Amino acid sequence: MSTVEKTFYIETFGCQMNAHDSEKVVGTLVHEGYNQVATPEQANYIFYNTCSIRDKAEQKVYNKLQHFKNSGKGKVIGLLGCVAQQEGSKIFDRAPHVSLVAGSASYAKLPEMLVQIESGNRRVTGLDFDNPEAFDTPYTRRDNPFRTFLTIIEGCDKACAYCVVPFTRGPERSRTSESVMEEARRLADSGITELTLLGQNVNSYRDPSPVGWDFATILNEVGRIPGIRRVRFTTSHPRDFVKPIIDAIDSNPNLCDHVHLPVQSGSTQVLDGMRRLYTREQYMERIGWMKAAKRDIAITTDIIVGFPGETERDFEDTLDLLEDVQYDAIFAFKYSQRPNTSALAMGDHIPEEEKTRRIMLLNERQRAIQIRRHSQLIGSLEEVHVEGRHESLNQWMGKTSQHRTLNFTGRDAEALAGAYVPVRVTRAGPNSLVGEAVV
C-alpha cells in the first residue's frame, strides 16, 4: 500500500482516558506516515476506540460495526479500547469484517500490527497488559495547545462489583516520577499551561522508582513546573484519598480547587455490595477535609442508581448525601450488568422505570443545589482559562479553577483562546455562569 493510501479515521467513545489514548494512537500513526482524515469514507483504515463501561456504550460500537459491514468493504477496520480488550478475538466471530483488535497497552505497537495486516494477515490482536511501552508517548498528538492530559497511572487493582475496568485496562502500573516530570516539563515548554493528571485511580499513584513519590507529592511537583498554571487530576478513589492531597491543594495555588471524588452511593450497605472499600462515614471524613480547607474546593461525584439490592431507604441515603455534601456537579448513571463482573451474580432486579425515577429525582435535587451554589457566586471575581468563543452569542467561554463553565463578554474578538482572564460573575444558571471581563 502506498503512502498516499495510508489514510485513517478514528472515532472515540467513553471517558477521558479513552480520549487521551486516541491522541496517542493519532500521534503514533501520523509519525509513521499515516494521514488522519475527517470521515470514514475517506479512510483506508477505520478505528473505533471503544468503551464498555455500560451496555449502551458497547451496543453503540456494534451498531457502528454493523453499518460498516457493507460500506467498509476494502477497508481495514480496527477495534481499540475497552470492548476490544474485554471481548478479544471473539470479536472476529461477531464481526468478521474486523481485522484488528487491540487494547490500550498495545497502541505503541499499532504500526507493527498494521504492517502485519498489510502483508496479508487478516486477523491481528494486541491484548497484552505487560507492554513496557504503554506509557511511551513521544508521538502523542495533542490538538489543544494550552490544555492537555498526562497519564501517570494505568489500570486498577480494585475490584468494584459492577466495573469492567480491571478486566479491560489490567492491573495498576504507575509511571516513574522522572518520566512524568520530564513529559510535564516538555509540555510546559511547548506552551501548555493546564495539565490534567490522568489515571483510573489517579490517587493510587506510587512512583515505582527508588524516589518513591506518592500522589500528593507528584501533584505538588507538577504544579511547581515553570509555565504550568493549573493542574487537575481525575479520577480519585475515596479509599486512597489522603489528607496530604488537600494540604497540597491548600499550599500550591497552581493546583485547581476542584476534586472529583466518585461516591457511587450514599448507603454503606450498597457500598459494601459494590465492594467500594469505604463506608459513607469514611467518605464524609474526606469531604470534611475539603470543607475545612483554606480554599473553596468544588466537589463533584459519580453516582450509580439501581444497583442490585438498593432499597428505597438506601436511595434516600444517597439523596441525603447530596444535601450533606452540597456537590457542585454529579454524574449519575443507571446500573447495568457488565460481563465478567462479580455483581452479575446478584441479578438486576430493579425495574428500568424505577431506575429512571431514581435518576430523575437525583438529578432534580442536584439541580436545585447547583442553582443555589451558583447564585452564591454572583458578584465574585473568577479567573477564567479561555477555551473559545460562541460567535453567535458574542461570548467567550472558559473554565474557572473550580471547573465551572463561565461565559463572558467585555473583551473584543481578539485572540483570547488560552489566556487567563479575570471575570466578574453577573448571572448564574444550574450548569454555568455568565460574567463580564474585568479590564
Work out how close the CB of 426 gets to ligand SF4 at its nearest, in angstroms, rounded to a whole number: 39
Whose Cβ is closer to ligand SF4: residue 98's or residue 304's? 304
Closest C-alpha among 375, 248, 269 to residue 317: 269
At what angle are helices 312-325 and 352-375 packed, to 10 degrees? 10
Distance of CA 240 to the CA centre of its chain: 18
Which grid coordinates belong to 290? 475539603
- Using CB under 6 A as the binding rule, whether residue 152 contacts ligand SF4 is answered as no
Q: Which stretch binds ligand SF4 (CB under 6 A): 97-105, 151-159, 355-363, 417-425?
A: 151-159
Q: How far is the CB of 53 from ligand SF4 (least distance, A)?
A: 8
Amino acid at 283: Y
The angle formed by the CA atoms of residues 327, 330 and 336, to the nearest 5 degrees, is 145
Among 200, 236, 370, 407, binds ligand SF4 (CB under 6 A): 200
Interface with ligand SF4 includes 237 (CB under 6 A)? yes
Q: Do the Cβ atoms of 372 and 398 come closer than 8 Å?
A: no
Q: Is 201 in the site for ligand SF4 (CB under 6 A)?
A: yes
Q: Select 232 or 385, whichever has its Cβ closest to ligand SF4.
A: 232
Binding mask 59-98 vs ligand SF4 (x if CB under 6 A, - otherwise)?
----------------------------------------
- Shortest distance (Å) from residue 61 CB to ligand SF4: 19
Question: Least distance from C-beta 165 to ligand SF4, angstroms?
Answer: 4
Q: Is 399 in contact with 419 (CB distance < 8 Å)?
A: no
Tell me the closest approach of the beta carbon of residue 260 to ligand SF4, in angstroms: 12
Q: Which residue has the cell 497519564?
A: 151
Tell whether the torsion through CA atoms of 206, 210, 213 and 214 is positive or negative: positive
Question: Which residue from 169, 103, 158, 104 is spatially nearest to 135, judged by alpha carbons?
Answer: 104
Please say which residue, 271 or 369, places its beta carbon nearer to ligand SF4.
271
- Beta-bridged to residue 206, according to DSSP, are 214
The nearest distance, CB 66 to ligand SF4, in angstroms, is: 28
Q: Which residues in the 153-172 window bind ligand SF4 by CB under 6 A? A: 156, 158-160, 163, 165-166
Residue 132's SS3 state is helix
Terminal alpha carbon distance of the chain? 56
Task: Find all residues with CB under 8 Å of 357, minimum gap 6, and list them.
Answer: none
> Toward ligand SF4, which CB reaches closer, 200 or 407?
200
C-alpha 231 chain-centroid distance: 15
Cα→Cα distances 43→22, 29, 38, 391, Å: 16, 13, 8, 32
- Does the footprint of ligand SF4 cover residue 225 (CB under 6 A)? no
Output 160 or 305, the one with its CB closest to ligand SF4. Answer: 160
Q: For 422, list phi and psi in degrees, rounded to 5.
A: -75, 130
Residue 235 or residue 269: which is nearer to ligand SF4 going by CB? 235
CB of 301 to ligand SF4, least distance (A): 13
Least Å distance, CB 171 to ligand SF4, is: 10
| The three cell numbers locating residue 294 | 483554606
| Binding footprint of ligand SF4, residue count (CB under 6 A) | 10
- Of 28 and 86, the one with the shorter C-beta distance to ligand SF4 is 86
CB nearer ligand SF4, residue 201 or residue 402: 201
The CA dihedral of 10, 304, 262, 174, to the nearest 10 degrees, is -50
Distance CA 433, CA 298 (A): 14
Distance of alpha carbon 134 from alpha carbon 122, whole angstroms: 24
How near is the Cβ of 364 to ligand SF4 at its closest, in Å? 25
Give min distance, CB of 183 to ligand SF4, in A: 23
Nearer to ligand SF4, 149 or 408 (CB): 149
Nearer Cβ to ligand SF4, position 163 or 322? 163
| Binding interface with ligand SF4 (CB under 6 A) | 156, 158-160, 163, 165-166, 200-201, 237
